[in-house]
Structure 1
Amino acid sequence: MIARAVLALAAGLWLAAAARDGVDGWVAATDLPPLTIVTGAEVVARDGRLLRAWTVADGRWRLATDAGRVDPLFLSMLVAYEDRRFASHPGVDARAMLRALAQAAWHGRVVSGGSTITMQVARLLEDSGTGKLTGKLRQIRVALALEHRLTKGQILDLYLRLAPYGGNLEGLRAASLSWFGREPGRLTPAQAALLVSLPQSPEARRPDRSQQAAAQGRDRVLARALAAGLISAETAATARTEPLPTARRDFPRLAPHLTDRLRLSDPAQPHHATTIDADLQARLEQLAAEAVTRHGDRLQVALVVADHASGEIRASVGSAAYENDARQGFVDMTQALRSPGSTLKPLVYALAFDQGLAHPETLIEDRPLAFGRYQPQNFDRQFRGTVRVREALQLSLNIPVVTLTEAMGPERLMQGLRRAGVQAVLPGGGPPGLAVSLGGLGVSLEHLTGLYAALARGGVARPLSPLPQGGAEGERLVSQVAAWQVGHILAALQPPDGSAPGRIAWKTGTSYGHRDAWAVGWDGRHVAGVWLGRADGTPVPGAFGGDLAAPILFAALARVSPMAAPLPPPPAATLQVDNARLPLPLQRFRPRGAITAPGALPEIAFPPDGAQVALDGAPLLARVRGGTPPFTWLADGHPLDIATPARESHLPLPRSGPLTLSVIDANGQAARVTLTLAP
């Protein structure tokens, strides 16, 4: 008898093992649908907030998410309501299925479902039906196979991406943004409950169609959460009174021109992280819309704001509105090539300071001059005679800046633009002429703002970028002294709002024919650029940078921060004296050609141009031939030896690296070489 029982038990165990092995083989042989879920491309701000998203190919909103980015209360409610034994079952909850079958048999209808979260994922992956036995069996098989091949966390992530939420909303993140305008990482209990209930009846419970059905579904989830101890009775009662959304919200579309550009630059990249400040971007887009409202239906505006220390763009507004209207708002005017007018003048002066051609207190002539057949005029057609260089820049006089450009050569200005990362385009593609210093070329607002960022950064150029750049060092454009001198001059200009000067260094410009009005400036932390005009390039009668663009520049910087960050103090090497105490060659600028005696031009005999010199702590031996003594030697615009009659000098150079060595003779004639000093 005992032997017979033992044999029966052994046979039963063998049959169970065989059945188990058969089921395992059946599950292992399952062909799973693709598990890679395509999500819409997105661009996010520096804090991770969504700036812009796109639908997937079939027009559905489906965005990348995972359990780590979801409010924990939502996840707890989801498991408590949909699948209490999710953590322990193998994909199918036998107890829940038996309960569902018993209830259906007793009531004659389906009372509760037996599907697990894994079974729902199986159905969503291949859109298998649930009304037929074959569909349910297929879900069971796929669910068991998913549990064999994926972790519980991976299965939950698939659910969070695929669950339907009504209309073309798919996945929790798209639903949370559309119904509540927020990411799913922070949800109220009422919001979490509604989002748990919606996938069961995504169309019937849509709050924009049936507030009653949506409220009933939400409240059932809250009741289950209360019973499970996830929320208190007080929290549940408060959540039931929270208003439901009545309509879907638009998905974010901040910085549309920039986000379009980033997506087109790398279409295969689903996620683009930027340095954009979402709140600042929204404030400046509002400012842009306000700026054009009183100026007809064709005036357009663009703005760029960046952190000039890092080169990271904080806001980029391509137009006042992203629309195909009379303003042609779809055109990104931060990238369009336009004439910069007088906004290149600060670079000309900085280069001239560096080369020993001038100092802010140098006297320069503002009188009628002809350079061959080119006869520049001031904007107001007036001449002011002898002025200080400081005044020439502040008054934006044309003749002095052209005179300086002629002295150093327009190609040097073009080289400076290239070092600053400015892609300047000359009309006709010919060699640069003197008119480039007055805006006779095309640049973009983003590149022009980057040029001013280099001046704000102490003369080091680093291209602006909306993408994280890391710790790029940048390239020396002008010396720290020259950059500070230009900024100090521009900061003394009277702000358009009548406030006290000294907080912001700024410059305006107006292109020929009043086609473009500009204002660019910086404080101790941020740089901003503003362009106004018409996208089609037609003139805007009466448009001046000082009248139109400057107030927007100051308003933009005020929206960055109500208190401007202070500008830096002068570098230690800055020569701050009045004109009478300047070295004689720097007291008055004399144009090239003023000295006609043969052999009068100075030339640096040693060291040669481009030399690499190892000083080992000793002074640099420098020699000059030609020219008229006394001589003044300068390194990056900083005087080293003033009015020396000797043609040979020993110059103390305290730092290593690249520098420009200049010598100026008694007649104001200069020569210069570029050196690299070894440490």
Structure 2
Amino acid sequence: MRRVAGRGAGWILALAAGLMLAAHGRDRFDAWVEATDLPPLAPATSVEVQDRDGRLLRAYTVADGRWRLDVDPTRVDPGFVAMLLTYEDRRFRSHSGVDPRAMARAFAQAAWNGRVVSGGSTLTMQVARLLEEGTTGEVAGKLRQIRVALKLERVLTKDEILSLYLLLAPYGGNLEGVRAASLAWFGKEPARLTPAEAALLVAIPQSPESRRPDRAADRARDARDRVLARAVRFGLVEAEEAEAARSEPVPGRRLAFPAHAPHLADRARAGDPLAPLHRLTLDRGLQARLEDLAALAVLGRDQMQVAILVADHASGEILASVGSAGFRDDGRQGFVDMTVAMRSPGSTLKPLVYGLAFDQGLAHPETLVDDRPMDFGGYAPQNFDRLYRGEIRLREALQLSLNIPVVALTEAFGPARLLLAMERAGMVVRLPGERPGLAVSLGGVGVSLEGLVQLYAAIARGGVALPLTWRAEGDREAQGQRVLSAVAAWQIGDILAGLAPPPGAPANRLSYKTGTSYGHRDAWAIGYDGRHVIGVWMGRADGTPVPGAFGADTAAPVLFQAFARLKPGLDAPPPAPAATRLVSNAELPAPLRRFRPREAAFAPEGAPSVAFPPDGAEVELIAGAGLKVRVSGGKAPFTWLVDGAPVVTGARDREAVLAMAGAGFVTLSVIDAEGRSARAGLRLR
């Protein structure tokens, strides 16, 4: 604490002693103390955001820009408190706010030496000065401190006064209080301090600016060592322990305060701006590990961003929320929380489509479906790779993320049912038009990463959706809505677990799905095991395309790395429900063996056109099988030509198989009975 300067200090102390001994009688003295107007005894403290175990995620400065973190004395190292009282105010527990013995000693030393040798301020007097931000050396200021200290002792307990000191003690710059100082100088809470650390925190407040370790290391070290010497003298520290402590260097720089989950912390504060403390369901260790992973994921990728969300799907609690890589990276728009941004989900809604089809009795994982060009009332989607596989099991169609089968399924039960299921899962949906179309199943809708994780959590939970929660004090009694049957949910998980992991990832059975939105604007990967669900989004925050960014190549590796940072292995999925039909296609009831779209055929009228393969397609040839072709429109019989040479003539059927010479680019033509023709260029592989 700053010393009283000049010869006038002795007169101040003498005057104070006189006031205590004879303040016009005891009664008038008591009345004088009782009439003291106290400053506010509850200084503003930094708003804190803590994780599920009470560990600091992020803190905010108070209004004047100071770091002043609330202090629980029971969570401050007892050794530090003992050093503090021994060095600053050994009779703190027994005096009434002013220590006559200390003042008398200070007065005698000042009179003998002609200068202040030791201070007479008690810890309570120091608290009085800190509460009012008063001065030390002025007579009026000293008298005011004495008066406020005496009143404080009458209205507060000793522990409450000590708590105020621990909260307000200055530590240089904009640091106040032992918690802020311990975090800034040592990077840890003050619950467990070494003797060297405790001694330094005792010493700095006596002259906070001239003893700042980052600016005056020598002065800070000397002051620390004096505290250690006093601690040895009074038996608080062994001599050997103090000697070892003196060899420790003082901190050379001030550390940054924790700033984990900044986006979610800001959301929490905005939702309850008056609350001094926000307790979240996050795990700080996991959050820090995934923030590091996010930074690595975009390293060297210009303007690329990433968002990662982890939840316990049994409880719905969010365990980690990374809104971006670099909150303050304006070049990547890191301030945008991409866990809640509305983006196109690409193929990530396909598992829900298949699950609904299973529940409607339209199909089974082993049901066969045609992967061929289809027209759905003028909507003619293509597969992402522009290839077609012909007849294929639905299990394989989902694993290959084919577009034609999923649109056919959506057309069978209606896109409105798909939107309803998304809403039942708790997803916020942004629809481009007034009515949903079939393109919804391919990503033609706006959703968020948070919404997709909630959907996959519902599938992982056996088809029941619970709202994701990130406030530790949130409602845990909420009843979930059923989105899929337990059987359909298990079937989806079983299919997705059959996907091969990305190169270099562990060969496990993680149930996951990737997606890529139109124009490569969004790359997704979402997966779950028996306990957790993780979602990853990658792209640019401004929505511009990222050429070459695919969910499988870009986001999936990050998903598997996130699981590796979450835990060493996967939790086993639940067993199949008793009602699950685990059979082959041949063992299915006849209606389930083959899926037939209700309205997915070309109308055979008007001029002919090559329905399959479509113009510009790439088709994989199977040795000895020929090329399967189909014509829509026109009038039979048909003539098929390859590069101008007739291959099939007089064909009455709309489908034919053409013998092909080999791989390469070919021009396929068809001529109907009235001489009308159509042409398609394709590449054979």
Q: TM-score, normalising length from structure 2?
A: 0.82
Q: Does 1:554 align with 2:557?
A: no
Q: Does 1:106 align with 2:108?
A: no
Match 2:526 to one of 503, 515, 520: 520
Give the residue type in structure 1 aligned to 2:527: G
Could you tell me whether the CA contact under 8 Å between 1:447 and 1:463 is conserved in 2? no
Could you tell me whether the CA contact under 8 Å between 1:281 and 1:314 is conserved in 2? yes
Could you tell me whether the CA contact under 8 Å between 1:492 and 1:501 is conserved in 2? no
Could you tell me whether the CA contact under 8 Å between 1:491 and 1:501 is conserved in 2? no
Q: What's 2:313 paired with?
A: 308
Q: What's 1:387 paired with?
A: 392
Match 1:204 to one of 199, 210, 215: 210
Q: What's 2:335 paired with?
A: 330
Does 341-350 or 577-586 show the bigger shift? 577-586
Q: What's 1:426 paired with?
A: 431
Could you tell me whether the CA contact under 8 Å between 1:285 and 1:320 is conserved in 2? yes
Q: What's 1:466 paired with?
A: 470
Could you tell me whether the CA contact under 8 Å between 1:180 and 1:245 is conserved in 2? yes
Q: What's 1:451 paired with?
A: 455
User: In the superposition, relative to structure 1, how do residues 499 and 246 fare at CA in structure 2: closer, same or farther (>3 Å)?
Assistant: closer
Give the residue type in structure 1 aligned to 2:398: L
SS of corresponding position for 1:284: helix
CA deviation profile, 1:462-520 (whole Å, cap 9, x unmatched): 12222223354422221221111101100011000356755210000011111111111
Q: What's 1:437 paired with?
A: 441
Give the residue type in structure 1 aligned to 2:328: E
SS of corresponding position for 2:332: coil
Q: What's 1:615 paired with?
A: none
User: In the superposition, relative to structure 1, how do residues 246 and 487 fare at CA in structure 2: closer, same or farther (>3 Å)?
Assistant: same
C-alpha separation in 1, matches of 2:172 and 2:600:
81
Name stretches of at least 5 consecutive residues in structure 2 with no aligned partner: 1-20, 602-685
Q: Does 1:147 align with 2:164?
A: no
SS of corresponding position for 2:534: strand
User: In the superposition, relative to structure 1, how do residues 181 and 499 fare at CA in structure 2: closer, same or farther (>3 Å)?
Assistant: closer
Match 1:345 to one of 340, 346, 350: 350
Match 2:185 to one of 152, 171, 179: 179
CA deviation profile, 1:31-88 (whole Å, cap 9, x unmatched): 1011111011121122222111111111111111121221111111111111111111
SS of corresponding position for 2:330: coil
What is the CA distance between 1:294 and its match in structure 2?
3.2
Q: What's 1:536 paired with?
A: 542
User: In the superposition, relative to structure 1, how do residues 177 and 500 fare at CA in structure 2: closer, same or farther (>3 Å)?
Assistant: closer
C-alpha separation in 2, matches of 1:135 and 1:541:
69
C-alpha separation in 2, matches of 1:500 and 1:95:
72
Give the residue type in structure 2 aligned to 1:420: A
Q: What's 1:49 paired with?
A: 55
Q: Does 1:116 align with 2:119?
A: no
User: In the superposition, relative to structure 1, how do residues 373 and 46 fare at CA in structure 2: closer, same or farther (>3 Å)?
Assistant: same
C-alpha separation in 1, matches of 2:503 and 2:566:
17
User: In the superposition, relative to structure 1, how do residues 594 and 278 fare at CA in structure 2: closer, same or farther (>3 Å)?
Assistant: closer
Q: What's 1:60 paired with?
A: 66
C-alpha separation in 2, matches of 1:494 and 1:263:
42
Q: What's 1:416 paired with?
A: 421
Match 1:220 to one of 223, 226, 240: 226
What is the CA distance between 1:553 and its match in structure 2?
0.8
Q: What's 1:640 paired with?
A: none
**Total equivalences in the alignment:** 579
Q: What's 1:396 paired with?
A: 401
Q: What's 1:378 paired with?
A: 383
User: In the superposition, relative to structure 1, how do residues 357 and 498 fare at CA in structure 2: closer, same or farther (>3 Å)?
Assistant: farther
User: In the superposition, relative to structure 1, how do residues 500 and 121 fare at CA in structure 2: closer, same or farther (>3 Å)?
Assistant: closer
Could you tell me whether the CA contact under 8 Å between 2:408 and 2:600 is conserved in 1? no
Give the residue type in structure 2 aligned to 1:583: P
C-alpha separation in 1, matches of 2:357 and 2:413:
7
CA deviation profile, 1:631-659 (whole Å, cap 9, x unmatched): xxxxxxxxxxxxxxxxxxxxxxxxxxxxx
Could you tell me whether the CA contact under 8 Å between 2:84 and 2:202 is conserved in 1? yes
Q: TM-score, normalising length from structure 1?
A: 0.83
Kindly report structure 1 stretches of 4+ aligned residues shifted beyond 6 Å. Answer: 15-18
C-alpha separation in 2, matches of 1:293 and 1:133:
61
SS of corresponding position for 2:439: helix
Could you tell me whether the CA contact under 8 Å between 1:503 and 1:567 is conserved in 2? no
What is the CA distance between 1:324 and its match in structure 2?
4.4
Could you tell me whether the CA contact under 8 Å between 1:351 and 1:478 is conserved in 2? yes
CA deviation profile, 1:420-457 (whole Å, cap 9, x unmatched): 111010013x1111111111000011111111111111
C-alpha separation in 1, matches of 2:244 and 2:507:
54
Q: What's 1:134 paired with?
A: 140
C-alpha separation in 1, matches of 2:508 and 2:575:
12
C-alpha separation in 1, matches of 2:186 and 2:87:
21
Could you tell me whether the CA contact under 8 Å between 2:363 and 2:595 is conserved in 1? yes
Match 1:367 to one of 343, 365, 372: 372
Match 1:284 to one of 290, 300, 323: 290
Name stretches of at least 5 consecutive residues in structure 1 with no aligned partner: 1-14, 596-679
Q: What's 1:89 paired with?
A: 95
What is the CA distance between 1:364 and its match in structure 2?
1.7
CA deviation profile, 1:144-202 (whole Å, cap 9, x unmatched): 11111111111111111111001111111111111111111121111011001111111
Q: Does 1:477 align with 2:483?
A: yes
Match 1:191 to one of 184, 188, 197: 197
C-alpha separation in 2, matches of 1:50 and 1:58:
21
SS of corresponding position for 1:326: helix
What is the CA distance between 1:377 and its match in structure 2?
1.3
CA deviation profile, 1:91-126 (whole Å, cap 9, x unmatched): 111111111111111121111111111110000111
Could you tell me whether the CA contact under 8 Å between 2:41 and 2:131 is conserved in 1? yes
C-alpha separation in 2, matches of 1:566 and 1:473:
25
SS of corresponding position for 1:364: strand
Could you tell me whether the CA contact under 8 Å between 1:33 and 1:125 is conserved in 2? yes
Q: What's 2:647 paired with?
A: none
C-alpha separation in 1, matches of 2:539 and 2:133:
53
Could you tell me whether the CA contact under 8 Å between 2:23 and 2:29 is conserved in 1? no
Q: Does 1:318 align with 2:323?
A: yes
Pairing 1:491-506 to 2, within 5 Å after superposition: 491-497=497-503, 501-506=507-512
Q: What's 1:27 paired with?
A: 33
Could you tell me whether the CA contact under 8 Å between 2:67 and 2:180 is conserved in 1? yes
C-alpha separation in 2, matches of 1:66 and 1:106:
42
SS of corresponding position for 1:552: helix
What is the CA distance between 1:574 and its match in structure 2?
1.5
Could you tell me whether the CA contact under 8 Å between 2:374 and 2:600 is conserved in 1? no
Give the residue type in structure 1 aligned to 2:443: G
Q: What is the Cα-based RMSD across aligned positions, in Å?
A: 1.8
Q: What's 2:361 paired with?
A: 356
